[in-house]
Amino acid sequence: MNKRFLFFLTLLVAATVLPALLTTRSDVSLASVRQLWSDVLRDADQPGMRLTRLTASEEMQLGADLLQTKPWPEDPAGAARLVRVAQPMLPHVHRRDITYQFHVVQTPMFNAFALPGGQILVTDAMLGFVQSDDELAEVLGHEMAHVDLRHAVEHYQYQYRLGPLVELFHRLATMPFSADQELDADAEGLRLAVAAGYDPAAAPALFARMRQQFHEAAAPSATTPAGEIAHSLGDALASYFRTHPPSEERARRLRELVAATRAHQPAQKP
């Protein structure tokens, strides 16, 4: 990216964002400002990102290296379930040169996320929350979509610019994707799940249940700092919504996608 352009872009962001930060009633963390700047860089430097794109083998090696820095123990039995549920979706991904690996990590955080190169991680808290393989397929499909659409590796490229490598795994696990990337991953993840024969209605049902329980459980402790990992369901769910921002738009789009999917499915014989 041209340095002169980047300088003026910085001034523009400062001029438009800082007044809003100064007048907002809620606390704004340094992490949120860094994430905003990361989104600006991502949108402004798409041509440069294409020129520096990693090969599939380089991306998979990067994901394997990042995985080694994770701070949580793994649950092999839980991972076996992820593999079983994800297996029917693998033939339907676009990037056939990526080998996916699935991990369940033991932490009270309620989350699922994708590392570059097909490393998919689901926390045991999330695994315990889903009520069926159909719901789990929607979770896995969404994260696989972030890899298939190159969101995960693009996320790495820009998070890497914001700080030292030693902090990178934590940032990748806790910083959100952009709103557009989330919507795209919702659609692509649903496509993968449906192509594998899973129930499309599981996606909006799971999303609505997470939203409902998050808001109900978190309401009494709304002043809890966002970075604090608590053991209550509300704070556990908050860790998911920090990296997968909830919105009425996402909920509406999911319902529309399911309706469109059902409209194109062949009618079942009585």
| Domains of the chain by residue range | 52-264
User: Which pLDDT tens digit goes with each residue over 32-76?
Assistant: 444 444 444 455 445 445 545 789 999 999 899 889 888 889 999
pLDDT computed for residue 239 by the predictor: 53
What is the tens place of the pLDDT at every residue in 171-214?
A: 555 566 777 888 899 999 999 999 999 999 998 888 888 877 76
Give the pLDDT score at 223. 39
Here the tokens at position 18 are 């800082």
- Tokens linked to 113: 């996320």
Out of 35-49, 131-145, 218-232, 249-263, pick the least confident. 218-232
Determine if the pTM surpasses 0.85. no
pLDDT at site 81? 98
Give the span between the Cα atoms of 173 and 93, in whole angstroms: 23
